[in-house]
Structure 1
């Protein structure tokens, strides 16, 4: 047989083998379909962008906003605003419309429940885009940052966050965005579900707590409260200051210093009197008061910082009917604090300034705590 005929015969045999191997063709077809489906899914996520990772919201799409960790960075990067509300669950019941009404500000709320100072730093990195190597847009102009400070969290580590952070939504590395683009939860719960049952989130009141009116009662609060065991040894007065100083130096002060045209409105929330029962039982009253003092004096030293002190609002903290648990107050007190920011009430005067200084606030706080009848209150349980 000639080489030409031989080659022709071999080719025919190979062709027959290929025709007789449907599994290979099916596998190739399946892979092609899977790849196409992935491309379509990724394109849908990019187009709708429910976490606002690539662009601002589409006009008319009923976005569901309920995921602080995943949606805050996108909102910080792509929403229109001139002021920001930052803090823990103590800030979730602020309505941004109040800040427009009272102060003429176009505010955005970027709260993190249980937030540590590092959580605030993570989002301020995006708000201010302070990294000169960033590929993002030019630095935003922010008029005011309203920062709620929970003293308990400032005793933690400088790199400690309340929950694991989805880094792929906070960095500039698009290669790791596959975790967002091909995320089943994103597609089902943040694109398809809102399309099927449109009920867009009111961004003015985003992340608001679920408690309804009946939960704000002394009976409910006491039912769910357990008083700690008495600690005999007193915590040293300056025990917390090293951790507090580090957190301020790493996670808060750099943003204040690098943004002198932004006013930072720092405030301490009004926890209920039961918080102070915990403080007394755990025997760290002096250390806690010293922490308030140190943070206030450190931050009030900046010209672009104002500090507000609400913990000693006796008419609020001593009535548990204003709370849903030992620390979370009714939304009307978020409104009250917003009004105070507008009027300059409960402001702590800095050194050399006229007005009530931190020592007066702390003295009043001490008087409330030491005079309060905790035994009688807890007997109502």
Structure 2
């Protein structure tokens, strides 16, 4: 009996010691920054924004803050530091509602009296959401100031074995700090192409939009917009007059506007914008930036991997715009800015995205049929071969090259790039060996860089347009629309058109 009691005491003591060790480890490492900022020498992965953001805004040192939805996750705070001398933390929330952002931003303003500037990404689509509903549930024990519910943090085995020990694993594999440039980033090598954005929109968004359209409530939409502004954004601004709020309207693509035109109400969408401007423009500590009408961005789906998420290059463009004051929206340019946005939407030919009338080559299955549509002088065609796509004899390829006015690659060539067009002083072409070749040219004001070899590339004015699939990659510029209207790849086994539909390589 005595041995049993000793065994029980020893077991309980061991269990208590292990429990205290686990609690101590969670508190000491603190993967969610609930008690302190990150420890020197440890690399904390920033990958759970709902759990880590409240600790970041309470315990880190910073004088500027950036928040918004997932479309703001690719901003690089280091560039803000380089251009504007700011020490920034980035605390976005995926699929954020204005109420969700209010929770995190409220904590930041309460705990950091030295906060000078808040960069607030305002999504047009978030204005109509239920103003009393979080986009996703938040762990209350990390947002409130109640120490008694911290047990959900310090006695959580998933946090101990997953997140706390994960800091050590990340330190070993990554080394050093994970900085805010990579915090919560979604840039896992995603590929941006029009075909990808359209495919993801049709697959993911259209079913939801069709359901919403069946019960669309205009009055509710405007009531929610008003409540979101009055309850979830304006109080933060008016109660913190010494903090500058840089509120920027994020650039949803032209697909987003197609969705509004087709399934919702365009006039109501602009009424929402007017309501936001009525609320924000009079505030002395607010600077407004409007990126929704930057036509070269929103109408170029080669910057997007779905209807609203855009390439990191756009985040850099917006950052530099803040530094230079570009796209600043004021009472003086308000009418012109919104008028320009409406002109873009109402003047856009959506058939170029979904039909074949305006872009006939999209209806062509084979390479020869495709190239036959390019005879019109409105088109400039860019060609780059990827991989082993130059067979010794191919009537289909020979026919296509002749139709484009190209002599074709030299005998035995394994790489080939060319630019052709009826109204261009070229064709220009170059062929070479397996190591690959490059072709540079300026065509009607377009800076063009082509590569052929293991990877095909067609870069026009800094944007990649090639599908980068094995075979003959063709990119078609339309002088009438002033943009690329199609990109396709043709493999020699069947010479049928292929286009990416998945943003992952």
TM-score over 0.5 (shorter chain): yes
2:348 alignment counterpart: 372
Contact 1:82 1:107 in 2 (8 A): yes
Deviation per CA, 1:141-162, whole angstroms, max 9, x where unpaired?
A: 2111000111222222222111
Please say if 1:206 is aligned against 2:179: no
Q: 1:188 offset after TM fit, Å?
A: 2.1
Q: Report the equivalent of 1:42.
A: 23
Written as runs of structure 1 = structure 2, the 5 A alignment for 1:132-211 is 139-196=112-169, 197-199=172-174, 200-211=177-188
Name the TM-score, length of structure 2 as normaliser: 0.65
How far, CA to CA, are the matches of 1:53 and 1:174 in structure 2? 11
Match of 1:324 in 2: 305
Contact kept, 8 Å, 2:198 with 2:255, in 1: the verdict is no
Aligned length: 348
Aligned residue in 2 for 1:101: 82
Structure 2 residue matching 1:205: 3-state secondary structure? coil
Q: Give the match for residue 394 of structure 2.
A: none
Partner of 2:272: 291
- Residue 260 of structure 2: which of 279, 288, 292 is its match? 279
User: Can you list the C-alpha shifts for 1:233-289, whole angstroms capped at 9, x where unaligned?
Assistant: 996876532212211222111111111011100111111110011001113111111
Work out whether 1:219 is the aligned partner of 2:195.
yes
**C-alpha spacing 1:42/1:286, structure 2 compared with 1 (3 Å):** same
Q: Does the Cα contact within 8 Å between 1:231 and 1:281 map onto a contact in 2? A: no
Question: Aligned-pair distance for 1:208?
Answer: 1.2
C-alpha separation in 2, matches of 1:65 and 1:167: 19
User: In 1, distance between residues paired with 2:346 and 2:211?
Assistant: 16
Looking at structure 1, the residues matched to 308 and 37 of structure 2 have their Cα atoms a distance apart, in angstroms, of 35
Q: Is the 8 A contact 2:35 2:55 kept in 1?
A: yes
Question: Distance in 2 between the 1:157 and 1:73 partners?
Answer: 22
Which residue does the alignment assign to 2:49? 68
Alpha-carbon separation, structure 2, partners of 1:323 and 1:336: 14
Deviations 1:116-156 (A, max 9, x none): 01111101221011xxxxxxx6x522111000111222222
Q: RMSD value over aligned CA atoms? A: 2.2
1:192 is displaced (CA, Å) by: 2.1
Q: Which residue of 1 aligns with 2:431?
A: none
Using a 3 Å threshold, how does the CA distance of structure 1 residues 67 and 315 change in structure 2: closer, same or farther? same
User: Which runs of no fewer than 5 residues in structure 1 stay unpaired?
Assistant: 1-17, 130-136
Instruction: Tell me which moved more, 271-280 or 232-241.
Output: 232-241
Mark the CA change 1:96 to 1:150 in structure 2 (over 3 Å): closer, same or farther: same
Gapped regions of structure 2 (runs ≥ 5): 356-361, 363-498, 500-505
More strand, by proportion: 2
TM-score by length of 1: 0.86
Q: Secondary structure at the match of 1:155?
A: coil
The C-alpha deviation readout for 1:75-128, integer Å capped at 9, x for no partner, is 000111000001001110000011111111111100001110111110122101
- Choose between structure 1 and 2: higher helix proportion: 1
Distance 1:281 1:101 in 2: 42
Greater relative contact order (Cα < 8 A, sep 6+): 1
